[in-house]
Structure 1
Amino acid sequence: MTGNGTRLALAGILAAAALSAAAQIHLVSDTVRREALAQESVIERALMVPMRDGVRLATRVYLPKDADGPLPAILWRSPYNFSEKMEPTPGYSDANLKFALDAVRHGYAFVMQNERGKFFSEGDWEILGRPRTDGHDSLTWIAEQAWSNGKVGTIGCSSTAEWIMGLGSEPHPAHAAAVPMGMGAGIGRMGSYYEQGNFYRGGVIQLPMMAWLYNEQNLLRPQFPAEMSEEERLRAERYYDLAPTIPGPDWRSAASHLPVAEMITANGGPPGVFDEMVRRGPNHPDWYQGGLYHDDEDFTVPALWVNSWFDLSVAPNLALYNHVRENASSAEVRDAQYMIVAPTEHCHMYRLRQPHVVGERSMGVVDFGLDEIVYEFFDHYMKGENNSFARGEQPKVRYFAMGSNTWRSAGTWPPENATTRTLFLSSSGNANGLAGDGRLASTAPEAAAADRFRYDPRNPVPSLGGNVCCLGDTLVPGSFDQRPIEARQDVLVYTSEPLQKDLEVSGAVEVVLYVSSDASDTDFTAKLVDVEPDGTAWNLDETIQRARYREGYDKPVFLSDGEVVELRIGPMATSNVFRAGHRIRLEVSSSSFPRFARNLNTGGENAMETQPVTAVNAVHQGPEFPSRIVLTAVPADGP
């Protein structure tokens, strides 16, 4: 390590000492973790675990050195690199090393495994790595090891968690507990959400998925002979990491390419599964044949779900939690579901900064003892310990209320005493931009009006922050002042009067619009905003809906010129305390780019088209067309 690097590491250690034990792990460097693992564990490397079809998966096991007797184990599966050659340098190791060190120090074996088709694992890669077969076989292998006590937990965030739902859909005697974090891309259909693994929102392609597949769908890779010895394989892993280096494009420019179906290959990426997926609709039968978890499936394991308010799919994640609590076939499993929702970006619930600033909005000191909660959960369900979970002291739901920057607890989501509050859109037909007269009011307007705007796909409304991930510097997640967006004439802005007292909105946020267009198909977006007295406008959540899917994702219905139709957008989800003096705002438009692919307004097969047309879109209000936003409100005294 360089002298500067040594000083930085020392500064990190000194800073960590000033924080609680729960916060320390966030400031520990990968080098420190790696050295600690080498000192505190026995590491079994370059193992090849056989699956039922003969394919073998590259696996590593960490065993606590001071272990006394068989151990419970925690399984962490990944499509990402954890090879020996990678270990001396930073990489994706901050997560896997943290989880491994936590597990070893709490008396668990920790098992790392690459999905099939990735790095030293054999076979061809599939998204989510065959959770129902490969995951099942991996549990069986772990339970049969001499060091195992037969109980296995699962943990991960993002791609290392998205397979856990598919695994948990079927019972396995060894699967004792699960901690999925930021797992939205593993959810297919969940109630009103047909996101199919974060690929869609409201029937519109989400471009972060395209950026992820640009790097992940490559299937060309060198492979070593199956008959290599463990010693030879370990040596090869130290020489080669098999990680392809694919030069990434500027994503804002790359996302502008038409047709969308060629977006990856036209920008130098490899052909692959995106080329086929982009041609499906949001309810295509093929979405139900892979590893995604859907709302017609059981869930069979106690789980601690950890989500983030500024993640790509927080609303479906919350719907999944309710689905399991309400529909798991086992009453014991239904009662063993817990959820935490943190005010962080994707997978930053264990990468907290103090104070934690998400975008430009400070959430204050938000550390909530995640590590202690996770291992209290595992210790109860895997070791039988009589701790806070056993005694019923842990809340079913722990969520962070932004605005007040406080943690709240509840027995359900939304909180048990939540009610709804409806605000109606109103204007004189001039809600365009901040200078317009769009209002949110508690009663529907008596007079009819329509706010019209031109949506030109060649000049889409730019995304600014939001509940996103995976587009690098092109689109940074979090809360930003939205006034630059609201200055546009193709953004309708509806704002309430200043609130007389605090209002906590915790739960679903539904938007119902009465819309028309001169195009046969177009999109409508909705964004919920908290406006401070000085005008700063913090985004909370946003969503989109393609008009052709307003009657269902299995039966497109197109618009007639000038026809007014009801369009239900969302629901979004948040927890935010709108302080007294603040105002509630709803933005409506037809694009948010590059988060969402643009609708070209032709009514054709959008992903295959190259020639956009401009649409004149309208939002209608009045007695006949009560466009509105429905908030889930919690009384001032809390849950």
Structure 2
Amino acid sequence: MLQRVADLLLGLPKAEGPAPVATKGLRIPMPDGVHLVADRYTPAGQRSGPVVLVRTPYGRTGPIAALFGSVFARHGLQTVVQSTRGTFGSEGEFRPFHLEREDGIATAEWLRAQPWCDGRLATAGLSYLGHTQWAMGPYLDPPLEAMALGVTASEFVSTFYPGGVLAADNMVSWSAMIGRQEERFAGLPNPVQKRRTRRAMTHLPLNAADVAAIGKQVLFLRDVTTHAEPDDGYWAMSDHSAGVAGLAVPVSMVTGWYDLFIQGQLRDFRTLQDAGRAPRITIGPWAHGDPASLRISVQDQVGFLRAHLLDDRAQLQRSPVRLYLQQAATWLDFDAWPPESTATDSHLRPIGGLGEVVDGEARPTAFTYDPADPTPAVGGPLLTGTNKQQDNNDVEARDDVLVFTGEPLIADLDVIGEVSSTVFVRTELGHADVYVRLCDVDQDGRSLNVTDGILRLRPGAPEADADGIVTAQVRLDPTAYRFRRGHRLRVQVAGGAFPRFARNHGTGEPVASAVDGKANRFEIFHDAARPSRVTLPVFSR
């Protein structure tokens, strides 16, 4: 009865027959002698067949066992759930992203040699469980039958350091989570620990935020803060993007407009698409780990894997791109990403204006960013805390945030695709961050964030002109959003968004060890010669 209720809640067809058989504690040898532990879930009565592999650092019980074990197997998919190296009974040391390629390939070879596997292998999972798929999928011979990829990407480095800035909030919160995940009661809600972790994000130096958060060191946080400087090749082992174009495996993806991997996942999708493959993707109004996304994610993965392993082709009859148009409460289908649109510039104008026309001789607008009182972040693509869309009025009232607002729209404006900005900026110190956010302002004056991006400036990168002015090309996250008639577009420009992004100390010191900082004066230019702007992909039916 419970299994039928679960299927109903997940929107899956009712599974008939006895419960699947679970074989716990399989020990899978790695080339270096380490053994990784796995559990096998087999549909009742099945002796041999294809296998779905799920590799996870988060344990093999609880929701992971229920979704990727019981649910998959009840719907005919023999599944093996494996704990990655150094987690939940698997031997070795857990160093995230380090040995997933080697361990994944060895696991695939072992599975294919088992009498209960017919040689066909597919993969599934979300987030880090998606990374473990990318770490093996491009390298296997024979190839996988299918990959079901949720909220993930082939490379994570751009998510660690978006625009060259350490994503402090996400890195500290994930480090605190993995650092204590095997402790007793770690899976239960803990408001005290949550507050402690959030306070730790303000700790200096940042590479000691792990101790501030959970009272002990977490190697991942030390790694990600120590190797945050440009051209550091430390994370090369985690980047599998070079193999995306050559991947001939059927791929299905699910992500959300407020997911931290949205840029990387759509880059992977477009790479596959441009290489002549036939991937599909579903993009909803979700953040990472949003409970609202679970139903569609499970439906997508079960249906896609059944199509490619059990020849149940019904779930393949859909458009390659299915996306949710925010504020329109509608799903749209397209043949490709991005859909056709018109690149439309909204120029920053004097006295806080925003529009298509550039003011010929406008003077620059200035503000001062102070790392001792960093500009706060509001909402957005966060792993924990208050994410997605939030009211930005309080932060927009600060002296260190410039606000440029357009006139009320005379008709609905649909923006679907890649969003970018060009900001002409001069800073006093040379070391600075340029943060740009696009907002939707309703008739009551409430300002809701839609998408944003950041870029770290260093002396000579990008190169300044003779007047010391830098052209900052800031890439914002892609979106699909309807700005309603009567609403206004608003663009924020600031020197940071803390603690989502690590503060810029203005000194050039490494982010891992920096403690002191200097206030930094910004000048934003918006004249005919230096037309700072946001470029929107305007969609018309």
Counting only pairs closer than 5 Å after superposition, residues 169-248 of structure 1 correspond to structure 2 as 169-173=138-142, 175-184=144-153, 187-188=155-156, 196=157, 198-207=159-168, 208-216=170-178
* Correspondent of 1:41 among 20, 23, 32: 20
1:292 alignment partner AA: D
Q: How many residues align?
A: 533
Match of 2:344 in 1: 421
Match of 2:481 in 1: 576
What secondary structure does 1:258 align onto? Answer: coil
**RMSD of aligned residue pairs (Cα, Å):** 3.1
Residue 399 of structure 2 corresponds to residue 457 of structure 1: no
Residue 235 of structure 2 corresponds to residue 279 of structure 1: no
Instruction: Tell whether the 8 Å contact from 1:176 to 1:382 is kept in structure 2 after alignment.
Output: yes
Structure 2 vs 1, CA of residues 118 and 370 (structure 1 numbering), >3 Å: closer, same or farther? closer
Instruction: Tell whether the 8 Å contact from 1:37 to 1:101 is kept in structure 2 after alignment.
Output: no
Residue 518 of structure 2 corresponds to residue 613 of structure 1: yes
Match of 1:318 in 2: 266
CA distance in 1, matches of 2:65, 2:393: 39
Q: How far did residue 247 of structure 1 move?
A: 5.7
Structure 2 vs 1, CA of residues 370 and 604 (structure 1 numbering), >3 Å: closer, same or farther? closer
Residue 51 of structure 2 corresponds to residue 100 of structure 1: no
Residue 255 of structure 2 corresponds to residue 307 of structure 1: yes
Q: How far did residue 143 of structure 1 move?
A: 2.2
* Correspondent of 1:162 among 131, 135, 139: 131
Match of 1:60 in 2: 39
Residue 33 of structure 2 corresponds to residue 24 of structure 1: no
1:51 alignment partner AA: M
Match of 2:359 in 1: 445
Structure 1 ranges of 4+ moved more than 6 A: 240-246, 559-562
Match of 1:383 in 2: 310
What secondary structure does 2:409 align onto? Answer: coil
Kindly provide the CA deviation profile for residues 169-188 of structure 1, in whole angstroms up to 9, marking residues without a partner as x. 2133251111111114x514
Instruction: Tell whether the 8 Å contact from 1:198 to 1:313 is kept in structure 2 after alignment.
Output: yes
Structure 2 vs 1, CA of residues 124 and 218 (structure 1 numbering), >3 Å: closer, same or farther? farther
Instruction: Tell whether the 8 Å contact from 2:375 to 2:497 is kept in structure 1 after alignment.
Output: yes
Counting only pairs closer than 5 Å after superposition, residues 467-616 of structure 1 correspond to structure 2 as 467-469=381-383, 471=384, 475-548=385-458, 551=461, 563-616=468-521
CA distance in 1, matches of 2:460, 2:352: 25
Match of 2:117 in 1: 148
Structure 2 vs 1, CA of residues 547 and 291 (structure 1 numbering), >3 Å: closer, same or farther? closer
Structure 2 vs 1, CA of residues 530 and 404 (structure 1 numbering), >3 Å: closer, same or farther? same
What secondary structure does 1:216 align onto? Answer: helix
2:252 alignment partner AA: L
Instruction: Tell whether the 8 Å contact from 2:225 to 2:511 is kept in structure 1 after alignment.
Output: no
Structure 2 vs 1, CA of residues 60 and 38 (structure 1 numbering), >3 Å: closer, same or farther? farther
Instruction: Tell whether the 8 Å contact from 2:124 to 2:147 is kept in structure 1 after alignment.
Output: yes
What secondary structure does 1:212 align onto? Answer: helix
CA distance in 2, matches of 1:454, 1:103: 54
CA distance in 1, matches of 2:194, 2:392: 28
Match of 2:93 in 1: 124
CA distance in 2, matches of 1:64, 1:344: 32
Match of 1:260 in 2: 206
Kindly provide the CA deviation profile for residues 27-74 of structure 1, in whole angstroms up to 9, marking residues without a partner as x. 9xxxxx9xx99960111011111122221111000111143x522221
Q: How far did residue 248 of structure 1 move?
A: 6.2
Instruction: Extract unaligned runs of 5+ from structure 1.
Output: 1-9, 28-32, 84-92, 189-195, 223-239, 353-366, 428-436
Q: How far did residue 458 of structure 1 move?
A: 1.3
Q: How far did residue 395 of structure 1 move?
A: 0.8
What secondary structure does 1:175 align onto? Answer: coil
CA distance in 1, matches of 2:419, 2:522: 23
Structure 2 vs 1, CA of residues 324 and 313 (structure 1 numbering), >3 Å: closer, same or farther? same
Q: How far did residue 249 of structure 1 move?
A: 5.9
CA distance in 2, matches of 1:562, 1:600: 23
Counting only pairs closer than 5 Å after superposition, residues 329-348 of structure 1 correspond to structure 2 as 331=276, 334-335=277-278, 337-348=279-290
Q: How far did residue 632 of structure 1 move?
A: 1.0
Kindly provide the CA deviation profile for residues 60-96 of structure 1, in whole angstroms up to 9, marking residues without a partner as x. 00111143x522221111111235xxxxxxxxx2244
What secondary structure does 1:133 align onto? Answer: helix
1:256 alignment partner AA: T
Q: Which moved more, 1:137-146 or 1:581-590?
A: 137-146
Structure 2 vs 1, CA of residues 76 and 549 (structure 1 numbering), >3 Å: closer, same or farther? farther
Residue 56 of structure 2 corresponds to residue 78 of structure 1: yes
Structure 2 vs 1, CA of residues 247 and 376 (structure 1 numbering), >3 Å: closer, same or farther? closer
CA distance in 2, matches of 1:604, 1:265: 21
Match of 1:362 in 2: none
Kindly provide the CA deviation profile for residues 509-532 of structure 1, in whole angstroms up to 9, marking residues without a partner as x. 101000011112111101111111
Instruction: Extract unaligned runs of 5+ from structure 2.
Output: none
What secondary structure does 2:314 align onto? Answer: coil
CA distance in 1, matches of 2:505, 2:494: 14
Instruction: Tell whether the 8 Å contact from 1:46 to 1:59 is kept in structure 2 after alignment.
Output: yes
CA distance in 2, matches of 1:201, 1:242: 29
Kindly provide the CA deviation profile for residues 103-126 of structure 1, in whole angstroms up to 9, marking residues without a partner as x. 112211111100011121111222
What secondary structure does 1:379 align onto? Answer: helix
Q: Percent identity?
A: 27
What secondary structure does 1:209 align onto? Answer: helix
CA distance in 2, matches of 1:526, 1:206: 15
Instruction: Tell whether the 8 Å contact from 2:433 to 2:457 is kept in structure 1 after alignment.
Output: yes
Match of 1:630 in 2: 535
Kindly provide the CA deviation profile for residues 221-249 of structure 1, in whole angstroms up to 9, marking residues without a partner as x. 99xxxxxxxxxxxxxxxxx9999999666
Residue 329 of structure 2 corresponds to residue 405 of structure 1: yes
CA distance in 1, matches of 2:390, 2:8: 26
CA distance in 2, matches of 1:561, 1:23: 65
Instruction: Tell whether the 8 Å contact from 2:325 to 2:482 is kept in structure 1 after alignment.
Output: yes
Structure 2 vs 1, CA of residues 108 and 550 (structure 1 numbering), >3 Å: closer, same or farther? farther
Structure 2 vs 1, CA of residues 560 and 612 (structure 1 numbering), >3 Å: closer, same or farther? farther
Instruction: Tell whether the 8 Å contact from 1:505 to 1:575 is kept in structure 2 after alignment.
Output: yes
Structure 2 vs 1, CA of residues 347 and 106 (structure 1 numbering), >3 Å: closer, same or farther? same
Instruction: Tell whether the 8 Å contact from 1:453 to 1:490 is kept in structure 2 after alignment.
Output: yes
CA distance in 1, matches of 2:480, 2:500: 22
CA distance in 1, matches of 2:344, 2:511: 36
What secondary structure does 1:202 align onto? Answer: helix
Instruction: Tell whether the 8 Å contact from 1:467 to 1:478 is kept in structure 2 after alignment.
Output: yes
Structure 2 vs 1, CA of residues 481 and 243 (structure 1 numbering), >3 Å: closer, same or farther? closer
Q: How far did residue 503 of structure 1 move?
A: 1.3
